[in-house]
């Protein structure tokens, strides 16, 4: 029987990758299927992982295998992003899945910004807003930037269409819009400012209407030039000066302008869950968002919010996206603005095909199909 192969990883690189991942050593050891003492021996340079364990390590830490063979940790600058939460909601560290998605989005964002510079493309200039601006005024400004009037919005057939159209409006305004699976325990979304390629992200664990609210919430953060990972659960009954509460109110004001809401409510009777459901259906927003808006306008009390079904923002059964090919998944997750930038850069010989494939994690045939899909 031949000797087992051991891989000479760099302990300091392994330590760096673990810290970046947010995983504890006991959880990582379980995922790699080794004892924690063995993992600690790798970290001290007293032992090396087998080839099988090495491959599992790379998968668990979401890093290319070559990373662990570097002589020292990469000289990367972490994104200055803050976990934000409404008053009364406990703070916490970023979850491993959140850390992974932040790395992924930042990597793509930096690449898109560079490609736009190299191609000489212009980027729409977004105004800078302050949370000292009233949420109503900010909401009107956001709607102007996105160029969506209320008649168009209420004419969309369903929330899935609304998500598609609001995403299109954000991308037209120069924003990279990502819809990424992060799970129920992760944040609803996050935002990362970049003057060339600002990015907003929504967690696809939630239904389309809830994602729309998240995207507008994160867009409000972008306009304040803040990098944020947002709990955004809406339970705050405190001061509107808190940045999270302000962004919630701006998102609600954008999606449901005060004059339109009051006009709609004049046709309604007592405010209850049935009324709120009709408001949500009319504006194609989530039940939670509609309730927050009615409370913000003084048309409902917090007791109505407390009566919302626990799963009001959850996705309904079915329609889970099965059967999508790699190209459809990539456009759904990364958006048309991000993917089309890479395709155009390849067409103009600004970036090599292999580099575009690596950034988008697609095959050469996928890249060809992506180009056809974006041109359709």
**Out of 78-87, 146-155, 323-332, least confident range:** 78-87
Give the whole-number percent of the chain exceeding pLDDT 70: 90
| Helix, strand and coil percent figures for the chain, each rounded to 5 | 55, 5, 40
The pLDDT of residue 324 is: 83
pLDDT, one tens digit per residue, over 174-198 is 999 999 999 988 999 999 999 999 9
Tell me the helices (H) and strands (E) count for the chain, helix number first: 17, 5
* pLDDT at residue 239 greater than cutoff 50: no
* pLDDT at residue 75 greater than cutoff 50: yes
* pLDDT at residue 232 greater than cutoff 80: no
User: Using 50, 70 and 90 to split pLDDT, how confident is the model at 358?
Assistant: confident
Cβ neighbours for 158, distance < 8 A, ≥ 6 positions apart: 284
The pLDDT of residue 237 is: 46
* pLDDT at residue 233 greater than cutoff 70: no
Both tokens assigned to 142 = 């956001």
Element (H, E) at 191: strand 189-192
* pLDDT at residue 85 greater than cutoff 70: no
Region 328-357 average pLDDT: 95
- Is the CA virtual torsion 280, 284, 287, 291 positive or negative? negative
Supply the DSSP symbol for 35. Answer: -
The pLDDT of residue 94 is: 82
Torsion region of 201: left, alpha or beta (phi above 0 gives left; psi -120 to 50 gives alpha):
beta
Of residues 352 and 236, more confidence is placed in: 352
Other CB atoms within a 10 A radius of the CB of residue 350 amount to: 19
Q: Which of 11, 10, 9, 37 is CA-nearest to residue 25?
A: 37
Contact by Cβ (8 Å): 112, 341: yes
- Cα 376 → chain centroid: 26
The pLDDT of residue 286 is: 94
Q: Which of 39, 38, 36, 43 is CA-nearest to residue 11?
A: 43
The pLDDT of residue 69 is: 86
pLDDT, one tens digit per residue, over 99-140 is 889 989 998 999 999 999 999 998 899 999 999 999 999 999
The overall average pLDDT reported for the chain is 88
* pLDDT at residue 86 greater than cutoff 70: no
Distance, in Å, from the CA atom of 60 to the CA atom of 106, rounded to the nearest integer, reads: 20
Q: What is the CATH number of domain 11-69?
A: 1.10.260.40
* pLDDT at residue 56 greater than cutoff 50: yes
Would you kindly state where each structural domain of the chain is located, as residue ranges? 11-69, 82-112+121-306, 326-375
User: Using 50, 70 and 90 to split pLDDT, how confident is the model at 340?
Assistant: very high
The pLDDT of residue 238 is: 45
Region 328-356 average pLDDT: 95
The pLDDT of residue 181 is: 94
* pLDDT at residue 168 greater than cutoff 60: yes
């Amino acid at each position: 029987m031949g000797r087992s192969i051991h891989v000479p990883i760099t302990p300091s690189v392994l330590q760096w990758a673990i810290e970046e991942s947010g995983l504890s050593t006991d959880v990582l050891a379980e995922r790699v299927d080794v004892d924690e003492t063995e993992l600690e021996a790798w970290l001290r340079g007293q032992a090396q992982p087998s080839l099988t364990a090495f491959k599992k390590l790379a998968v668990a830490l979401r890093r290319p295998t070559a990373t662990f063979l570097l002589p020292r940790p990469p000289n990367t600058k972490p994104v200055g992003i803050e976990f934000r939460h409404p008053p009364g909601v406990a703070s916490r560290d970023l979850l491993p899945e959140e850390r992974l998605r932040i790395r992924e989005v930042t990597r793509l964002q930096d690449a898109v910004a560079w490609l736009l510079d190299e191609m000489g493309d212009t980027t729409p200039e977004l105004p800078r807003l302050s949370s000292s601006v009233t949420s109503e005024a900010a909401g009107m400004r956001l709607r102007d930037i996105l160029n969506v009037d209320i008649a168009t919005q209420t004419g969309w057939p369903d929330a899935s269409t609304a998500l598609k159209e609001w995403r299109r409006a954000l991308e037209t305004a120069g924003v990279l819009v990502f819809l990424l699976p992060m799970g129920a325990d992760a944040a609803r979304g996050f935002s990362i400012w970049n003057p060339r390629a600002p990015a907003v992200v929504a967690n696809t664990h939630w239904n389309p209407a809830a994602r729309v609210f998240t995207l507008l919430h994160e867009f409000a953060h972008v306009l304040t030039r803040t990098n944020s990972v947002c709990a955004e659960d809406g339970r705050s009954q405190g001061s509107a000066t808190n940045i999270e509460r302000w962004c919630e109110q701006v998102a609600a004001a954008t999606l449901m302008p005060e004059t339109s809401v009051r006009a709609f409510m004049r046709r309604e009777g007592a405010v209850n869950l049935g009324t709120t459901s009709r408001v949500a259906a009319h504006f194609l927003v989530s039940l939670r968002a509609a309730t927050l808006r009615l409370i913000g306008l003084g048309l409902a009390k917090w007791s109505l919010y407390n009566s919302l079904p626990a799963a009001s923002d959850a996705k309904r059964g079915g329609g889970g996206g099965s059967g999508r090919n790699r190209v459809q998944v990539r456009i759904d997750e990364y958006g048309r603005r991000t993917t089309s930038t890479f395709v155009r850069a390849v067409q103009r010989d600004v970036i090599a095909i292999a580099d575009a494939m690596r950034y988008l994690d697609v095959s050469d045939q996928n890249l060809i199909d992506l180009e056809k899909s974006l041109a359709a």
